[in-house]
Amino acid sequence: MRFASLPSLLLALLTSPLAAQTDRLTEMNVFDLEYASDPRISPDGEWVVYVRQFADVMTDMNYSNLWLVSSDGSEHRPLTTGKFLDNSPRWSPDGTRIAYMSNRDGVPQIYMHWVASGQTAAITNLTDPSMGLSWSPDGSHLAFNKLVPAAPLTVGQMPAPPPGAQWAEPAKYTDEIVFRFDGIGDVPAGAWHLFVIPSEGGTPRQLTSGEQSYSSGFFTLPGSGPEWAPASDAIIVDANLREDSDLEWMDSEIYEISLADGSVRALTDRRGPDNAPSVSPDGSRIAYLGYDDRYQGYQVTRLHVMNRDGSGSRVVSSSLDRTVYQVRWSPTGDAIFGLFDDEGNTKLALFQLDGSYEVVAENGGSGSLAYGGFGVSYTVAGDGSFAYTTSRPDLPGDIAVATPGQAPNLVTSVNADLFAGKTLASVEEIWWNSSKDGLPIQGWIMKPPGFDPEGSYPLILEIHGGPFANYGDRFDVEKQLWASMGFVVLYTNPRGSTSYGEEFGNLIHHAYPGDDFYDLNSGVDAVIAEGYIDEDNLFVTGGSGGGVLTAWMIGNTDRFKAAVSFYPVINWYSFALTADMAPVAVKYWFPGMPWDNVEHYEERSLLSVVSNVKTPTLIMTGEEDWRTPMSESEQYYKALKLLGVEAVLVRVPGEAHGIWGRPSHGISKITTVKGWFDKYATERRPVS
């Protein structure tokens, strides 16, 4: 046998398909990607501490540490290290300490880091779940929310087992309508209450009590925390204290809690959500978010301002037909920062009290998916500068610092090392008119690295969930990897998507799924018209609401060669009686209870069109998904099999909604899509 010379061997290696793939993202790069989130700018605007999320290939787990960077991008360094979940960093008012939460001792505790000395110590010894963290303005205390456990419900009295006996786990009793929640599992008995602790450590003091929670607890967005009054004598929170809060999820009010005696005073009283309070620097006014609830599927959340005593409430964002979220007063107290999504782009605006506003930053986002609002956050320093998370198709999530009127400065680049050797898919915006009624629809085309406009590419239509959500030109690891595998990916915001105003969002009110089929199908036509799509290789996929619409698409057309429906709702009747969000579904997505509106539930069921399906279909769902329970996927799978349609059901152990709890399970979503679509594709050219 003759061996090739070294130069020719190297040439063969460099031109092989395996080597050619190395300049693209691969599935294993999921373990290399990092995401910067929850930036906290110091009171003087000189430093930013943030959460840096990463995955570990050996443990197949996601972790997070804290990093510190100067506001000019220099002196970038870790504040914590190790395979732990460190989060919620919070500067003390004088900038000398950073409080944060970490699970490095098992149950998450509050830690304190002294900036000058670099010393760190735990200041709590909690035994129950807790979250949310905020400093009192005078720096003397920290406030947080903690579960106050209650004895689990039992009915009857079991005899005690004899000594040494090993009996089975006891039966589980509940009288709650929501007894399991997605990502949590069994909801523990008890209520979430407000606690304060001296900032030097000590015994936490419980401020609120009772059977109703003064926090949404597990359902609270990461990074949020109690809002202090400037005098450090009271805490302002939102809570739903209705006796029927388990049925009326949205009807929260804003309350002031006295630090001295824990007395509670309601500041709002209307039907609908009033939440996310922010107190002005002088303590005279409160900015908050909410709307008058009309039980619509989508309602624009407005920015309000009221006097500190709850009087004089008025809408500040009435000129903006977009939902505002995450509001904070400017340091001078004459304006309010807030985020909103507009045509798939997350923007940070400064709202004047006369209702006018100015966009001060765009392209907000941080994370692995193209959803609006996903991972985006910001904070404001005493000098008016701010730090925020930003994302673009080639930027999974980094931190930028800016001052209103000045261009933002990117101070992190956490994936620069990985991307230096990779060519990412390009993203191009596209608009078209729906064949239903000419409604303008926005979407984005993701093209493979090395895209050839003269080529002929397979197309994946990928549909977002929600359904009241939006996609945009943000980084999305699933779509990037499909594009790196040679697919063109179309993702879009059909009717019902947010970021286009209340009327557009409510085009699917009590009518979902429905005419969104025409919006999506017309989008496929629009991309085909570009001239580089192989019409014999069209595929469709989506998760949650996108899984619903995937099943809806193949129930109304046979143009797709194969479909993958991730964690869909199939039967609205059973969904309303098994999902964790059942109270919302029956009040907002439908006109009433299933047994009172059988025809309405049936005509929107995916089983109503399943007999039309000819498309080979794979359904993939986490076994611990309580948002769209496994029973939904099983119903669809069994229906397809009974009809003789080629179908596969995939159950993912231990996974909740989304199937990204473990990195390897997220990878399996991507590889399953490729494997299923390749199985039914006509001949494809190899990825170059």
- For 191, half-sphere exposure in the C-beta direction (CA atoms, 13 angstrom radius) is 17
- Pairing relationship of beta strands 234-239 and 227-228 according to DSSP bridges: antiparallel
* CA-closest candidate to residue 87, choices 135, 37, 41: 37
Token reading at 594: 């299933």
- Residue 64: which residues within 8 A CB-CB, separation 6 or more? 51, 52, 53, 54, 84, 85, 86, 87
Q: What is the pLDDT of residue 376?
A: 94
Answer for the pair 80, 49: CB distance below 8 angstroms, yes or no: no
Q: What are phi and psi of 651, to 5 degrees?
A: -110, 125
Residue 461 and residue 467: Cα distance in Å, rounded? 16
pTM score:
0.93
- Could you tell me how many helices (H) and strands (E) the chain has, helices first? 12, 38
Answer for the pair 570, 616: CB distance below 8 angstroms, yes or no: no
pLDDT tens digits, residue range 585-598? 999 999 999 999 99
Residue 89 and residue 95: Cα distance in Å, rounded? 12
pLDDT tens digits, residue range 187-238? 999 999 999 999 999 999 999 999 999 975 545 444 468 999 999 999 999 9
DSSP codes joined into one string, 232-294: SSEEEEEE---TTTTT-TT--EEEEEETTT--EEE----SS-EEEEEE-TTSSEEEEEE----
Answer for the pair 33, 635: CB distance below 8 angstroms, yes or no: no
Helix (H, G, I), strand (E, B) or coil at 210: coil
Residue 468 and residue 341: Cα distance in Å, rounded? 12
- Pairing relationship of beta strands 141-149 and 130-135 according to DSSP bridges: antiparallel
Domains and CATH numbers, the chain: 142-153+167-281 (no CATH), 426-570+605-680 (3.40.50.1820)
Q: At what angle do helices 545-554 and 516-528 cross, to 10 degrees?
A: 70
Q: Write out 20-68 in H/E/C secondary structure.
A: HHCCCCCHHHHHCCCEEEEEEECCCCCEEEEEEEEEECCCCEEEEEEEE
Residue 136 one-letter amino acid: S
Count of residues in the chain: 688
Q: What is the pLDDT of residue 685?
A: 52
Residue 621 and residue 461: Cα distance in Å, rounded? 19
Residue 365 and residue 537: Cα distance in Å, rounded? 32
Q: What is the dihedral of CA 435, 437, 443, 446, to 10 degrees?
A: 0
- Residue 266: which residues within 8 A CB-CB, separation 6 or more? 253, 254, 255, 310
* CA-closest candidate to residue 38, choices 13, 20, 63, 64: 64
CA–CA distances in Å: residue 497 to residues 129, 431, 505, 628, 654? 34, 14, 5, 19, 30
Residue 313 and residue 306: Cα distance in Å, rounded? 4
Answer for the pair 34, 396: CB distance below 8 angstroms, yes or no: yes
Q: What share of the chain is helix, strand, coil (3-state, %, to 5)?
A: 20, 35, 50
Q: Which residues of the chain have pLDDT under 50?
A: 1-21, 218, 220-223
Q: What is the pLDDT of residue 683?
A: 74
* CA-closest candidate to residue 41, choices 342, 269, 535, 382: 382
Which residue has tokens 């999305």? 476
Q: What is the pLDDT of residue 6?
A: 32
